[in-house]
Amino acid sequence: MPLFFYSDWTYLLLVLPAVILALFAQINVSSTFNKYSKIFSNRGFTGHNAARAILDANGLYNVQIVQTPGKLTDHYDPRSNCIRLSDSVFDSRSVAAIGVAAHEAGHALQYAKGYVPMKLRAAIIPVTNIGSSLAWPLVLLGIFLSYPILAYLGVILFGFVTLFQFVTLPVEFNASRRALQALTNSGTLNDTELRGSKKVLTAAALTYVAALAVSIGNFLRLLIISGRSRRR
């Protein structure tokens, strides 16, 4: 991508601050997780145990929980109806691991109960994948070929990427709320331990806020660049 795309005012004003926020969010979630990975549940629950207890309490006996390589690679896969917990979460008794595992169980609950934002996010994934791959190439082609319609098509496609990030926020916040409520109701963690899990999930939530900020900045940047090329 041409150098001016990184050095013009649209990048410096609209994107760079969001990128800095995203870097801070990633550092913060890693340090917060590491901090509360050293505090263990008095009741001896592991991440796997906590997630399993939440699922079973809600009748989701068919949802599997498997271990997956890596750190903070945890996710719920609705296609296989499976929660994948990372090595640092699956067997860990830390309040950080229990919070993350409960969060993924929260996603399984959303899917089972037909949570609307979860359905919307799943529905736009195909066009989001297309938009993330083709948006910039289409904008660049539209500019270099002096074909504004092509550039604006790229902007529209990237708009779905931004919409995906926007819909992700309520999905993630709701999953954390379900997780903390389940941990409270079951007595899996005491009040002090629960506060630790909440701080981990709050730090994780900031990464999604930052991702949305980056996406909005890039969307506005694409819109401005496309409009500028049209006036030439």
Please, what is the angle between helix 16-36 and helix 95-112, to 10°? 120
Contact 100, 37 (CB under 8 A): no
Which residues lie across from 84 on neighbouring strands? 66, 75
Cβ–Cβ contacts within 10 Å for residue 3, how many?
7
CA distances from 120 to 32, 116, 134, 146, 152 (A): 30, 6, 22, 35, 24
Integer Cα distance of 68 and 41 in angstroms: 22
Contact 48, 100 (CB under 8 A): no
Q: What is the distance of C-alpha 62 from the center of its chain?
A: 25
Catalytic machinery residues? 104
